[in-house]
Amino acid sequence: MCGIFAAINKQSVTRHLIKGLQNLSYRGYDSAGIAIVDHSGLQRRRAEGKIERLIHCLETKPLEGRVGIAHTRWATHGAASQRNAHPHMTSRVAVAHNGIIENSHQLRTELESRGFHFESDTDSETIPQLITFYLNLGLEHDQALRSALERLEGSFAIAAVFDDLPDCIFAARRGSPLALGYANGGHFLASDINALKSVADQACHLEDGDLARISLLHIAITDQHNKRVDRPRQVICEQQSNSDRDKQGFRHYMLKEIHQQAGVIKRTLGNYLPGADNTIDFPLLPFNLAELQRLNIVGCGTSHYAAMIAKYWLEGFAGLAVEVDIASEYRYRDGPVCASTPSLFISQSGETADTLAALRHAKQCAQHCISIVNVVDSSIARESHVILPTMAGAEIGVASTKAFTAQLTVLFLFSLKAAVSRGRINQTEKKRLQSQLTLLPSIIDNFLNSEHRILAIAQKLQNIEHMLYLGRGIALPLALEGALKLKEITYIHAEAYPAGELKHGPIALVDASMPVLVVAPPGRLFAKSLSNLREVSSRGAKVILVSDQQGIDEAQDYIDAAIAIPTIEPLLQPFIYTLALQLLAYHCAVLKGTDIDQPRNLAKSVTVE
């Protein structure tokens, strides 16, 4: 993985390929390359590192043609290097691949025994080598490609061009997304439909098992049974506003997106609370909230922490039992799946491979599946029975910020609707909570005005190597998310624990060199959190407290720094507390000089298991 772009046009496609890769770059990558086919055969340019290095390579060794494929790679097999960069090719075919070929070692061993020579350490190179094997047997291009694909185990999206077919691109998918773009001057192909919007008017999504043959004037798609099919086209919507595409004067996309959160919450509320009658306008759910006994919520990373927060809401004031699963574990623990228990899936991109696989598993078990996604034409959205969009707009920074708070907004409204449906709160309380929710954007904007105070704390942390985060109750997933943000963009080793588990092992790590951040909002658990804070302070730890001013005053003798959070409705505390943790991670990363928007080894859309 991580990004595929391809083009066939009446003019040279090189600039389109580069632009397509730049549009995909927010997903994270470590190398890039393009391959062009014309009447003289296949040619390729690749570079380790940023796309700018590929552009420089093309300036010194130009490559022009009307048919080409391109790729940004995020290493899974083999180091980030030029030799491992895509496209991979033989003298007969070049291939760009997203996904993982799980039986690549066996295929490689077989092909090497037949005299094939590999030039990279990747699993992806087995694909052009295997296609070439079948071409050498005399199969036609599409037959050779299908025969090769049948041998592959794992997931893939593939773009391929052949040396003796200079007017055609082939595309295929199983598990990884791939979209075809239609334009007046030609056709385009991308692993993310957002990359097509600057060049195409319409698009269609390939389905699993599809093989497409793309020429200048025509696209022919066959399904897994090799039967001709037409996939429905859609007009490509301009989902990214101009404000999403530039930094608007902010130093990084991440900082801009942190500051966009007030507007994102307001926009999301506007989508679900369109009228003045306080009705939460959700699409028709395929189950009755009032009669529901249990709900599963599934997600990865930040989306999983959003699910954990929703569990506290749904169980605490809606009275609905919730089981939260990490998507990568959901299918493999062989737990009983009840068809009457619906599942809710959360994914920013809507393409998260583990979450998509979990959704498909739930559907096979006859469960109703709803999803909270930020991309309404994504695979998860298209395969769900109902979608609840987050309205966050395009999130460019790899570390999620505004998408997280948008997820929380939808989840809170879902919890509120469930609480009313189940008779746990009346309309007066519902109206009060919705009124508090509408105040959030202004509270967030006011809090962001005190950002300089967090910078002062970050300056104390810039040289640390390890850090602990502690939280109780709904503060635990906030601590987990805060630690995740710190390690994602600063590369500081940060771990979060339930504060009550401190004495069951983690306290052995605490000394003067281990800062401890305690997330302790006011409420019935504050006294217990304060007790844990004193425990780490007595062992020499430098303690940072995130609480309201009253809590900070109570802990004053035991802390080294504090982030004061405004006092708000207790159920809405996660929205403000996570803001402080995002800003702390961001300013630590700035001081350390890391690549904040595209951290090493990370991808925005994780499309492999």
User: Contacts by 533-538 with C-beta closer than 8 Å and gap 24+?
Assistant: 533/470, 533/558, 533/559, 534/558, 535/502, 535/503, 535/507, 536/468, 536/470, 536/502, 536/507, 536/510
Dump the DSSP string for 419-430: HHHTTSS-HHHH
Catalytic residue among 2, 204, 300, 369: 2
DSSP 8-state code for residue 187: E
* Spatial contact of 412 and 311, defined as CB atoms under 8 Å apart: no
CA distance 349 to 27: 10
Q: By 3-state DSSP, what share of the chain in percent is helix, strand and coil, each rounded to 5?
A: 40, 25, 35
Structure tokens at 222: 């066959």
- How many C-beta neighbours within 10 Å does residue 396 have? 21
* Spatial contact of 37 and 68, defined as CB atoms under 8 Å apart: yes
CA distance 419 to 362: 25
Q: Which helix (H) or strand (E) holds 493?
A: strand 493-498
Helices (H) and strands (E) counted in the chain, each on its own, are 19, 25
Dump the DSSP string for 498-562: EGGGGGGTGGGG-STT--EEEE--SSTTHHHHHHHHHHHHHTT--EEEEE-HHHHHHTGGG-SEE
Longest dimension (CA), the chain: 80
CA distance 470 to 119: 48
Q: In the annotation, is 2 catalytic?
A: yes
CA distance 381 to 41: 40
Catalytic residue among 197, 311, 417, 604: 604
Structure tokens at 326: 């990490």
Q: In the annotation, is 168 catalytic?
A: no
Cis? peptide before 87, omega within 30° of 0: yes
Of residues 516, 144, 117, 473, the one with CA closest to residue 312: 473
| Burial class of 125 by CB neighbour count within 10 A (0 to 12, 13 to 18, 19+) | buried
Q: What letters, b where the CB count within 10 A reaches 16 and e where it falls short, cover 473-508? A: bbbbbbbbbbbbbbbbbbebebbbbbbbebeeebbe
CA distance 373 to 349: 7
In sequence order, what are the beta bridge partners of 326?
299
Q: Report the relative pairing of strands 219-222 and 228-229 from DSSP bridges.
A: antiparallel
* Spatial contact of 300 and 355, defined as CB atoms under 8 Å apart: yes
Q: Which residue numbers are catalytic?
A: 2, 604
